[in-house]
Structure 1
Amino acid sequence: MAGWWRALPRAARRYPWPTNVLLYTGLYSAGDALQQRLRGGPADWRQTRCVATVAVTFHANFNYVWLRLLERALPGRAPRAVLAKVLCDQALGGPVALSAFYVGEGSGRGRARAGMNIVQGKDDIFLDLKQKFWNTYKTGLMYWPFVQLTNFSLVPVHWRTAYTGLCGFLWATFLCFSQQSGDGTLKSAFTFLLKKEASAVERPPEK
């Protein structure tokens, strides 16, 4: 294990794209597994595979390219450059990534549930996006600016996507919950957890 940890920084420097993409995808998928655990019930590995597919095909790659473009356009760690990168990320990168998640997950659920829904025009893959985007975006503004402020000011460029994935573990947990059961607000997540805790307390012990 110690050798693996020593090899990881070398891999990130020598192969920054695949290393960052794989780490990001693994952490993002783990976020879905965690929210399933918190919601209770059997594990839905089809859902987790769908999240992993969206992460590896779009989110991780978009994040890697986007962060590199930001660094080229606004190089350095001066306060003005860092703040400009944070503003650009929240105004452009965040909405694109969030839209791709809801649309990608919507289409993924349609394929997993029944292909006929798409053929018959009954599966609106933009439904989650239309219903939950604005709530989720506002929730993200309470989290991501602080994450990216640290990212742009302290983290080396070749680690930034992996760091985003690490912080995105919690965000993915919230996103996947919102896509499955919530409305994009923290209130819906806390309400669900409180109800689940209350039902666990009220449930009589098994004999």
Structure 2
Amino acid sequence: MSVMFRGYQNLLKKFPLGMQAIQAGTLMGLGDQLAQNVVERRKFENLDFIRTAQFFGIGFFIGGPATRTWYGILDRHFGSKGGTVALKKVACDQLLFAPSFIVILLSTISALQGGNMEDIKSRLKNDYIDILKNNYKLWPVVQLVNFALVPLHYQVLVVQSVAVLWNTYISYRTNRDTQPLH
């Protein structure tokens, strides 16, 4: 196991953005599969692997790179040590990044589901506030621990690991009206 972890560390140091994109995509896809298997209780033949691939793509192309870049920006502006630094990072993360990222996430999901601009506006009107409120129930505490205790190059991994459950919620929430449960 330590050989695998050292290999992961080496790849993370050599390709930080790429590795974090891969792990974000993988964990977002896992969150979608948990939504389909556990929450929606779909049988194997009814699983929507296109939906899972779309969630992987969102994590790979948007979530991982955006989160890693954002954490780097926060680190450059506030530093990386201390309780006050962590509080400043959480405040910026939750007041600037989270609200805008949720808009991007919901818009992307709606577009991938074939929605037009009116569908995207409707999704934002119907889901944004509730998802943002639920975001504030989970993420400030997670981010406080993350920013206070975790080195920068592991912060995306911590967030994406917790986000497996969050992504399960997002997947279920954004797909509950699109397909019948099996």
Question: What TM-score do the two structures reach when normalised by structure 1?
Answer: 0.79
Q: Give the Cα–Cα distance (whole angstroms) in 2 for the partners of residues 157 and 174 of structure 1.
A: 26
- Matched to 1:13, the amino acid is K
1:167 alignment counterpart: 162
1:115 alignment counterpart: none
Cα offset, 1:64, TM superposition: 0.8
Cα offset, 1:2, TM superposition: 5.0
1:143 match: secondary structure: helix
1:157 alignment counterpart: 152
- Matched to 1:101, the amino acid is L
- Percent identity between matched residues is 24
Cα offset, 1:31, TM superposition: 0.2
Name segments (4+ residues, structure 1) moved above 4 Å: none
Structure 2 spans left out of the alignment, 5+ residues: none
Q: Does 1:137 align with 2:141?
A: no
- Matched to 1:104, the amino acid is T
Q: Does 1:33 align with 2:61?
A: no
- Matched to 1:172, the amino acid is N
Give CA-to-partner distance per residue, 1:159-192, whole Å, 9 cap, x none: 111221111111000111111128xxxxxxxxxx
- More relative contact order in 1 or in 2 (CA 8 Å, sep 6+)? 2
1:60 alignment counterpart: 64
Worse-superposed segment, 146-155 or 3-12: 3-12
Residue of 90, 95, 99 corresponding to 1:91: 95
2:13 alignment counterpart: 13
Cα offset, 1:52, TM superposition: 1.4
8 A contact 1:25–1:165 mirrored in 2 = no
Q: Give the Cα–Cα distance (whole angstroms) in 1 for the partners of residues 157 and 20 of structure 2.
A: 5
Structure 1 spans left out of the alignment, 5+ residues: 112-117, 183-195, 197-207
Worse-superposed segment, 85-94 or 4-13: 4-13
8 A contact 2:17–2:64 mirrored in 1 = no
Q: Does 1:82 align with 2:86?
A: yes
Q: CA RMSD in A?
A: 1.8
1:76 match: secondary structure: coil
Give CA-to-partner distance per residue, 1:135-169, whole Å, 9 cap, x none: 11011111001111111011111111122111111
8 A contact 2:21–2:61 mirrored in 1 = no
Give CA-to-partner distance per residue, 1:53-108, whole Å, 9 cap, x none: 22212111110110100111111321111101001000011012111111000000
8 A contact 1:21–1:161 mirrored in 2 = no
Larger Rg: 1
Residue of 68, 73, 78 corresponding to 1:69: 73
- Matched to 1:37, the amino acid is N
- Matched to 1:155, the amino acid is V
- Matched to 1:61, the amino acid is P
Residue of 111, 121, 128 corresponding to 1:126: 121
* Alignment: residue pair count: 174
2:61 match: secondary structure: helix
